[in-house]
Amino acid sequence: MKVILDYLKQQAINQRFDRLLKQVCGVMVMLSRLMMLFSLFPVLMAQVAWAEMETEQSSPHQTIPNIPRLNQFDQPATTVDEWVTQLTQFSNTQVRNVFLTPTVGGVNVILESGQPLPTPLTSVVGNAFIAEFANTELHLAEGEFQAANPTKGIALVSVTSLPNNRVRVAITGVDTPPTVNLSLESQGLVLAITPKTEIVTTDEDAIEIL
């Protein structure tokens, strides 16, 4: 009987010890969480202080930027004609800048498009060298480009838009059409212009055949 009583007492002590151990563990977990919160407190305070400083330094008359409305965005095509128009705009190459750079023998005409331009159809009309680009649009702030007498022997350089999404480059020589070398680049095209000099023969240079 005594052995049974001793066993029961030991079991009760063990149970009380287990409960005490669980309580101690719970307290330790709470203390660790509190320590974590206290360690984050300075960081939170610093962020609050930084936000207040930025608010104070900002202009009191600062306005919120306008948020674009839905109707300000490009609307999707709703008809076949609109779809074809949008598809054409995406497929055409756009010339966004035209400028001249002088060279030793003449001048370069540079067309910037951000992508390679299609190979042009070239021809000579009178004293003018003509290059026409298909599937190309001219998007310049001034509309079209013209430069009179850019170098000796060249009367005019013009870049204009044509119907059916075409762009024409015309380089007119003073006396004769110039020599033009085209170089397709990754960001556009370069036309290297070299004026031709007209050879004039006089009576003194003529050879008389008897």
Min mean pLDDT across 9-18, 62-71, 122-131 is at 62-71
* Residue 103 forms part of a structural domain: yes
Concatenate the DSSP letters of all residues of 35-90 into one string.
Answer: HHHHHHHHHHHHHHHHHHHHHHHS-TTPPPPPPPPGGGSPPPP-SHHHHHHHHHHH
> What does the alpha-carbon distance between residue 124 and residue 107 come to, in Å, rounded to a whole number?
18
Span 92-107, pLDDT tens digits = 889 999 999 999 989 9
pLDDT digits (tens, 9 = 90+) for 175-195: 999 999 999 887 889 999 999
The verdict on residue 165 lying in a domain is: yes
In the chain, the amino acid numbered 103 is T
Which of 10, 36, 57 corresponds to the end of one domain? Answer: 57
Residues 189 and 121 in one domain: yes
Backbone angles phi, psi at 131, to 5 degrees: -130, 120
Q: In which band, very low, low, confident or very high, does the pLDDT at 23 lie, cut at 50, 70 and 90?
A: confident
Task: Report the C-alpha gap between 92 and 135 in whole angstroms.
Answer: 5
204 lies in some domain: no
Residues 50 and 105 in one domain: no
Do 128 and 37 fall within a single domain? no
Task: Break the chain down into helix, strand, coil percent, rounded to 5.
Answer: 35, 30, 35
Please report, for the domain that includes residue 171, its CATH number.
2.60.40.3470
Q: Are residues 103 and 170 in the same domain?
A: yes
| Residue 164 contacts residue 132 (beta carbons within 8 Å) | no
**Helical (H) or strand (E) element with 93:** strand 93-95
Of 115 and 25, the one with more pLDDT: 115
| Predicted pLDDT of residue 125 | 94
Q: Is residue 208 part of a domain?
A: no
- Which pLDDT band, with edges at 50, 70 and 90, does 19 fall under? confident
Do both 139 and 53 map to the same domain? no
In terms of domains, do 34 and 98 share one? no
Q: Is 98 in the same domain as 177?
A: yes
Same domain, 126 and 186: yes
The answer to whether the beta carbons of residues 177 and 127 sit under 8 Å apart is yes
pLDDT score at 115: 86
β-pairing, 166-173 vs 145-151, is unpaired
Please indicate, yes or no, whether residues 29 and 119 belong to a single structural domain of this protein.
Answer: no
82 falls within a domain: no
Same-domain status, 106 and 161: yes
Q: Whole-angstrom distance between the N-terminal and C-terminal Cα of the chain?
A: 162
Whether 44 and 101 share a structural domain:
no
What is the CA 1 to chain-centroid distance, rounded? 94
Task: Identify the domain containing residue 46 by its residue range.
Answer: 1-57
Structural domain count, the chain: 2
The answer to whether position 85 is within a domain reads no
Residue 58 vs residues 7, 46, 63, 73: alpha-carbon distances, Å: 76, 18, 11, 31
The answer on 189 and 99 residing in a single domain is yes
Residue 62 lies in a domain: no
Average pLDDT of the chain is: 76
pTM passes above 0.75? no
177 within some domain:
yes
Using one digit for the tens of pLDDT, what is the confidence trace for 100-140?
Answer: 999 998 999 999 998 888 999 999 999 999 999 999 999 99
**152 neighbors 195 (Cβ within 8 angstroms):** yes
